[in-house]
Amino acid sequence: MARGGITRAIVQIARDALIARGINPSINAVRVELGNTGSMTTIARYLGELENVEPRPNERRERLSDQLSELIGQLLDRLLEEGTEEVAEARAELDKHRASVNEQLMLAQAALTELQRQRDGLQAALDVQASELSTSQSSLQSELTRNARLSQSCADLEVRVHEKDEQIRSLEEKHLHARDALEHYRAAVKDQRDQEQRRHEGQLQQIQVEHRQLQQTLSVKQDELSRLNRDNERLLSDSRQQAKIVTTQGDSITRLTGELNALAIASARNEGAKEQLVDQLAQSREETASLRESVAQAEIQAKNSQVLLEKTQNEVEHMRRELKQLQAENNPLHSERADDQREK
């Protein structure tokens, strides 16, 4: 039965009970007799209808014997007492269940608060990890840029070394050509000397007449020989100078090789640092994924706690409605028993 769903019969039973006890059946008295339920307007309307239909209460009481009135009053008192006890027990049970539900509600709210605090902590940790990840990515980008610059420097040095090698090879070729030319010239001079000597020995008897001419020719040859010797000395000096240049180039090559090795070591170190940063980046991504999963689980637990809270509130509201229905049903039961007693 819904709240306030009283009927004319219920109002009449309460009114008759008040009259039987010698109490004026006013609107407030009837409402108290009904367990403080029902609308004042509805009770007043039913009382007015009963006044118009039924005779005055004094006239009805005159037709009832004192013993019957006393018996009806006792029955009404007994019914009210039993109904009051049942209502008290129901209220005690409701209060007990309400206390348990409130305790569960407080525990759920505390768990929800703790989960929210954990979620805030995880969110803060996630923000820190995101900041560290951004810093790591910036460092990695800087190292990659530096590595690219070092690689370009290594490539430039390799080009320069290659150019120096080409220059050294060209100088060596020139030196070999000069040495070949000198050897060829020396061989030619030696052959020429041998030929002249053989010719002089073979024609010694025939050239006495031409002695002066031969002396002139010999002077000319001596001048040519002096010139050839000077050319030979000049070529030797050029060869020594080329050897010094080759030595200087060798020192430059050694120095460039050392710089190249140092750059290779620095490049290897940069590769190691890059790999370490890549590992740190992967680890940071794994930790970020773990934190996101923890946050998702915390949100799921918070939603479950919210559902439990709503379910508990619905149970409390349902028990309140059951209590009100029990109170409303208790009064009609009392009225029906009173009607049965009057019919008997």
Q: With CA atoms as reference, report the closest residue to 20 among 98, 80, 96.
A: 80
Are 122 and 294 within 8 A, CB to CB? yes
Residue 151, pLDDT score:
83
Residue 142, pLDDT score:
87
Greater model confidence, 294 or 161: 161
Are 284 and 140 within 8 A, CB to CB? no
Residue 239, pLDDT score:
67
Residue 58, pLDDT score:
46
Segments making up each domain of the chain, as ranges = 8-105+320-343
Q: Angle of helix 66-202 relative to helix 211-343, nearest 10 degrees?
A: 170
Residue 118, pLDDT score:
92
Model confidence, pTM: 0.25
Q: With CA atoms as reference, report the closest residue to 47 among 3, 80, 14, 73.
A: 14
Given a cut of 60, is residue 342 above it in pLDDT? no
Least confident span in 38-47, 137-146, 155-164, 217-226: 217-226
Q: Band of the pLDDT at 341, cuts 50, 70, 90?
A: low
Residues 263-276 have a mean pLDDT of: 76
Residue 63, pLDDT score:
46
Are 34 and 10 within 8 A, CB to CB? yes
Are 287 and 129 within 8 A, CB to CB? yes
Greater model confidence, 325 or 4: 325
Residue 115, pLDDT score:
92
As a whole number of angstroms, the distance between CA 92 and CA 86 comes to 10
As a whole number of angstroms, the distance between CA 171 and CA 173 comes to 5
Per-residue pLDDT tens over the stretch 82-124: 767 777 777 778 788 778 888 888 898 899 999 989 989 999 9
Q: With CA atoms as reference, report the closest residue to 121 among 5, 291, 265, 281.
A: 291
The residues, any chain, with a CB within 8 Å of residue 77's CB and separated by 6 or more, are none
Per-residue pLDDT tens over the stretch 279-316: 877 886 787 777 778 767 867 876 776 777 778 778 77
The residues, any chain, with a CB within 8 Å of residue 308's CB and separated by 6 or more, are 108
Share of the chain above pLDDT 90, in %: 3
Phi, psi of 204 (to 5 degrees): -60, -35
Given a cut of 70, is residue 17 above it in pLDDT? yes
Q: Which of 1-15, 22-36, 255-269 has the highest mean pLDDT?
A: 22-36
Q: Is 25 left (phi over 0), alpha (psi -120 to 50) or beta?
A: beta
